[in-house]
């Protein structure tokens, strides 16, 4: 049978797709903007027919009823690698739970614990050779697709065709659903004055010819603006962002000095706005590779002058970072923070940078603290932080003693908390 006839024979409706879900299934769904929104929107319609279905995913972008509806408890549980606002709000309903992980081994460990029965993802229409592109994410999707008993994908003509580990032949997919939804876009975040100060401090630490990793939000956007005067930067990142497109178009990102995949931006997923999706469409300068490779610290460390730039929620006076919880309450996730920080330290000339505001709640709370809040998760150990940056400057921690770290970190805290931090350090003998 030709691939075209095979494709037609595998076409089903959204309703038929969710009809394949049965009690006890473990379903892995694609990440972020690659999320199969049509099928996931209908999971709740089979809720009364199934029990104990586990849905593993990361960065869900919509408020799905199977997550937000308390009546889904016992029927569906969303066990995510990263808490989003939807998951935080739904935690009280017991319809969600967090899966601790480092991104580079998240799928391997998950499938080792419980192999997926079903993978549900998204893709482009087939090309003339019968290959679809998984498009916006291969963070864990390729492994899940290879391991699942049943593979269902939503074919969306709006998705960009990307290269790398994204190409899959029609013969490797069991069922297709055509559903041309608009792509999810992150809202544009304009950097605040604090963001711009932090971005400027970080830009001073980035040398020409460095390879960078950035996230999303006000601080990363400000860092991108601060890098506009740099030369010959490269990209090796889990997430490809709008800011990287801006830097490429400004001639700052050339990828020519990279020691690994020279000439190419390397990422595991893309999440942003239309300009990003248009940029990566059919672009051979971008390679989307599986997260188990891209985020492996040993791979990251092969890049020269690798700079890992991450944000955190609070830092203690020894340099421990809590980036994913507020006390005992899960807020986000570890993601690739430790992967990239450790990888950067393995890199010749590499740097691990952590950024945060000095305070929260209108300067009422210091985010540089004597000890982390009780119950807080240590997302990044004190051994893996070279620089901590706030709007007040840069604390250089690489190679320092605890005594030196206390001084450095207090210097970048809000001035109103300097005396309190010093007193607490003395009281607890943090030196």
Does residue 402 register a pLDDT over 90? yes
**Residues catalogued as catalytic:** 238
**In angstroms, rounded to a whole number, what is the distance separating the alpha carbons of residues 266 and 166?**
13
Average pLDDT of the residues in 179-205 = 94
State the pLDDT at residue 306: 98
State the pLDDT at residue 216: 78
pLDDT in tens, 208-228: 999 999 877 889 889 999 999
State the pLDDT at residue 217: 80
Cβ atoms of 388 and 319 within 8 Å: the answer is yes
Cβ atoms of 125 and 134 within 8 Å: the answer is no
Could you tell me the pLDDT band of residue 183, with boundaries at 50, 70 and 90?
very high
Q: What percent of the chain has pLDDT over 90?
A: 97
pLDDT in tens, 319-360: 999 999 999 999 999 999 999 999 999 999 999 999 999 999
State the pLDDT at residue 215: 79
Does residue 14 register a pLDDT over 80? yes
Q: Please write down the long-range contacts of 170-174, taking CB distance under 8 Å and 24 or more positions apart.
A: 170/3, 170/6, 170/7, 170/10, 170/126, 170/130, 170/131, 170/132, 171/3, 171/6, 171/130, 172/145, 173/10, 173/123, 173/132, 173/145, 174/10, 174/150
Answer positive or negative: Cα dihedral of 360, 361, 364, 365. negative
State the pLDDT at residue 259: 94
Q: What percent of the chain has pLDDT over 70?
A: 100
pTM: 0.95
Which domains are seen in the chain, by residue range? 3-178 (3.40.1080.10), 193-427 (3.40.1080.20)
State the pLDDT at residue 188: 85
Give 155's strand partners.
123, 178
pLDDT in tens, 247-259: 999 999 999 999 9
Does residue 103 register a pLDDT over 90? yes
């Amino acid at each position: 049978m030709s691939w075209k006839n095979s494709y037609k024979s595998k076409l089903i409706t959204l309703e038929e797709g969710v009809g394949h879900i049965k009690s006890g299934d473990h379903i892995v769904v694609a990440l972020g903007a690659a999320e199969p929104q049509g099928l996931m929107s209908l999971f709740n319609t089979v809720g009364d027919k199934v029990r104990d279905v586990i849905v593993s995913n990361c960065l869900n972008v919509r408020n799905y009823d199977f997550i937000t509806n308390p009546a889904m408890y016992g029927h569906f549980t969303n066990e995510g690698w990263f808490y989003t606002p939807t998951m935080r709000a739904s935690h009280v309903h017991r319809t969600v739970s967090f899966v601790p992980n480092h991104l580079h081994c998240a799928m391997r460990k998950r499938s080792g614990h419980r192999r997926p029965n079903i993978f549900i993802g998204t893709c482009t229409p087939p090309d003339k050779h019968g290959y679809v592109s998984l498009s916006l994410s291969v963070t864990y999707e390729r492994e899940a697709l290879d391991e699942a008993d049943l593979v269902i994908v939503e074919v969306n003509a709006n998705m960009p065709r990307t290269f790398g580990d994204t190409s899959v032949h029609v013969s490797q997919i069991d069922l297709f659903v055509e559903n041309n939804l608009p792509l999810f876009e992150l809202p544009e975040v304009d950097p605040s004055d604090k963001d711009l100060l932090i971005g400027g401090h970080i830009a001073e630490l980035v040398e020409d010819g460095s390879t960078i990793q950035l996230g999303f939000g006000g601080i990363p956007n400000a860092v991108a603006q601060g890098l506009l005067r740099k030369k010959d930067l490269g990209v090796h990142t889990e997430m490809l962002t709008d800011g990287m497109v801006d830097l490429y178009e400004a001639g700052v990102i050339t990828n020519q000095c990279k020691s690994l995949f020279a000439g190419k931006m390397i990422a595991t997923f893309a999440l942003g706005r239309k300009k990003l999706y248009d940029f990566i469409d059919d672009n051979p300068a971008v390679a989307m590779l599986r997260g188990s490779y891209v985020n492996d610290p040993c791979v990251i460390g092969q890049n020269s002058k690798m700079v890992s730039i991450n944000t955190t929620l609070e830092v203690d006076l020894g340099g421990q970072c809590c980036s994913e919880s507020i006390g005992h309450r899960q807020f986000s996730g570890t993601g690739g923070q430790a992967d990239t920080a450790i990888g950067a330290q393995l890199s010749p000339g590499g740097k691990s940078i952590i950024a945060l505001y000095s305070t929260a709640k209108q300067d009422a709370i210091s985010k540089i603290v004597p000890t982390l809040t009780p119950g807080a998760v240590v997302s990044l150990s004190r051994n893996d932080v070279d620089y901590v940056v706030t709007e007040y400057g840069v604390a250089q921690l690489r190679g320092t003693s605890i005594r030196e770290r206390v001084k450095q970190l207090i210097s970048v805290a809000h001035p109103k908390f300097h005396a309190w931090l010093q007193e607490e350090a003395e009281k607890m003998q943090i030196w």
